[in-house]
């Protein structure tokens, strides 16, 4: 009996300890996981609309001969840069030169005939003064002089035409630019105004042509902006930075009825000659004047079905999901149009450990203008993994 009375209190005490231990475990829950949170970066930005287009030559000319004959020589290297007036081809000039010599001889004969007619007219006028010649004879002599003068003028015009034909045997570059390969080799016959010998395209500046949507056009008009003169910036395939700049110089007068787009063109300097007609590029057109915008890294944005959300730190360091409306990427950061304020603490690192409605162990960070994130100690935060869809979101 004394043993039983001693064991009963010990058993009751053990049960109480077990119950207390179990209750404490349920109250504590899982430990708070570490994340890095930072205030959004606020700075003036210019938002840009993105378009894909192609470079085009401002001038493009098919080089054709203006005289028929046999091609005798080519004076350029395929693909080289040529200046306006530079000699490209020569055509056998002997037939044209012979025609010019003949025209000069005919002019000399017409001039001799005219001189004789004038002498005869003077003699007739002298005889008529002494009543030794009739007035009809004088008028005939005057008519002969007028005919001679007309023949001289006609032969002079024939000489100018023949000189032009001789000059046309020298085919020169009509514009400055880059010449293509020769399409006809020396020794072949060419026909005036028909045979294409090569092509020349201008290189500086170039046009950049792209298609703008009807919605974008109407948006600009509602803002009271005019596209002509608007600044643009362009990057080529494989480039990360928009290193080329230009201005809009042409907007078509009508939209395409099939696609609902309108052709827009920008003029882009090409002093270094590295741009070539036909290259594709990505163009950004300023969609608004510079204004203060809220920016966060793209890795801080989570996809939740059709929504885009960010995780922010609320009271008592509890994680909250905040729907946002996004804008374009500027300097490596995403513009957030609605849903955030400058005072919000946005989770920018460790987002895969954040659980909405649960507290987090928050480490202060800072978003730099170049898009990087540093911790409160000034060290760069570890690269964040690409944000997964929000928990419970459609996969």
How far CA 395 is from CA of 61, 63, 306, 353, 357, in Å, comes to 56, 60, 11, 18, 21
Average pLDDT, the chain: 82
Of 322, 389, 261, 329, whose CA–CA distance to 37 is shortest?
A: 322
What value does the mean pLDDT take over residues 219-241? 80
pLDDT in tens, 108-160: 999 999 898 888 888 887 887 777 767 788 788 889 889 999 999 999 999 99
Least confident range of 18-27, 207-216, 241-250: 18-27
How far CA 230 is from CA of 225, 252, 280, in Å, comes to 9, 15, 20
**Beta strands 333-338; 291-296: pairing state:** antiparallel
Q: Are 217 and 262 in contact (CB under 8 A)?
A: yes
Alpha-carbon gap, residue 49 to 283, rounded angstroms: 8
What value does the mean pLDDT take over residues 196-223? 86
pLDDT in tens, 67-112: 999 999 999 999 899 999 999 999 999 999 999 999 999 999 999 9
Residue 191 has a CB neighbour count (10 Å cut-off) of 11
pLDDT in tens, 287-301: 666 788 888 988 888
Going by pLDDT thresholds of 50, 70 and 90, the confidence category of residue 15 is low
Q: Which residue has the higher pLDDT, 15 or 129?
A: 129
The share of the chain scoring above pLDDT 90, in percent, equals: 34
Q: Are 231 and 107 in contact (CB under 8 A)?
A: no
Q: What are the structural domains, with CATH classification, of the chain?
A: 33-43+292-375 (2.40.420.20), 49-59+205-286 (2.40.30.170), 93-168 (1.10.287)
- What does the pLDDT read at residue 378? 52
Of 69, 65, 64, whose CA–CA distance to 99 is shortest?
A: 69
* Beta sheet of 189-190, edge-to-edge order: 170-172, 87-91, 69-74, 189-190
pLDDT in tens, 244-290: 889 988 888 888 888 888 888 999 999 888 888 999 999 988 766 67
16's enclosing H/E stretch is helix 2-28
Check whether 391 has a pLDDT greater than 60.
no
Predicted TM-score (pTM) of the model is 0.62
How far CA 223 is from CA of 226, 253, 338, in Å, comes to 9, 19, 20
Alpha-carbon gap, residue 290 to 295, rounded angstroms: 14
- What does the pLDDT read at residue 135? 79
Going by pLDDT thresholds of 50, 70 and 90, the confidence category of residue 29 is low
């Amino acid at each position: 009996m004394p043993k039983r009375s001693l064991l009963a209190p010990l058993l009751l005490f053990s049960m109480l300890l077990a119950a207390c231990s179990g209750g404490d475990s349920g109250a504590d829950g899982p430990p708070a996981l570490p994340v890095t949170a930072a205030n959004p970066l606020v700075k003036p930005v210019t938002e840009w609309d993105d378009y894909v287009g192609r470079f085009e030559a401002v001038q493009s000319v098919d080089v054709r001969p203006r005289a028929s004959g046999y091609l005798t020589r080519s004076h350029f290297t395929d693909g080289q840069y040529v200046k306006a007036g530079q000699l490209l081809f020569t055509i056998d000039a002997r037939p044209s030169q012979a025609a010019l010599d003949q025209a000069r001889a005919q002019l000399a004969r017409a001039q001799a005939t005219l001189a004789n007619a004038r002498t005869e007219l003077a003699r007739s006028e002298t005889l008529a003064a002494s009543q030794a010649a009739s007035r009809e004879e004088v008028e005939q002599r005057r008519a002969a002089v007028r005919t001679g003068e007309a023949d001289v003028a006609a032969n002079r015009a024939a000489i100018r035409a023949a000189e032009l034909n001789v000059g046309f045997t020298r085919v020169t570059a009509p514009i400055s630019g880059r010449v293509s390969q020769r399409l006809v080799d020396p020794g072949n016959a060419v026909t005036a105004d028909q045979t294409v010998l090569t092509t020349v395209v201008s290189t500086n500046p170039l046009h950049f042509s792209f298609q703008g949507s009807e919605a974008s056009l109407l948006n600009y008009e509602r803002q009271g902006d005019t596209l002509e003169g608007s600044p643009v910036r362009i990057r080529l395939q494989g480039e990360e930075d928009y290193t080329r700049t230009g201005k809009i110089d042409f907007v078509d007068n009508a939209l395409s009825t099939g696609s609902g787009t309108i052709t827009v063109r920008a003029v882009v300097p090409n002093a270094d000659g590295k741009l070539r007609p036909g290259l594709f590029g990505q163009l950004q057109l300023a969609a608004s004047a510079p204004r203060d915008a809220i920016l966060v890294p793209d890795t801080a944005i989570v996809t939740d079905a059709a929504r885009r959300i960010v995780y922010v730190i609320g009271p008592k360091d509890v994680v909250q999901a905040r729907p946002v409306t996004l804008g374009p990427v500027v300097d490596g950061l995403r513009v957030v149009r609605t849903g955030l304020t400058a005072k919000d603490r946005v989770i920018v690192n460790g987002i895969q450990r954040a659980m909405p409605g649960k507290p987090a162990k928050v480490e202060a960070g800072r978003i730099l203008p170049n898009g990087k994130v540093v911790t409160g100690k000034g060290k760069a935060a570890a690269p964040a993994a690409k944000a997964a869809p929000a928990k419970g979101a459609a996969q």
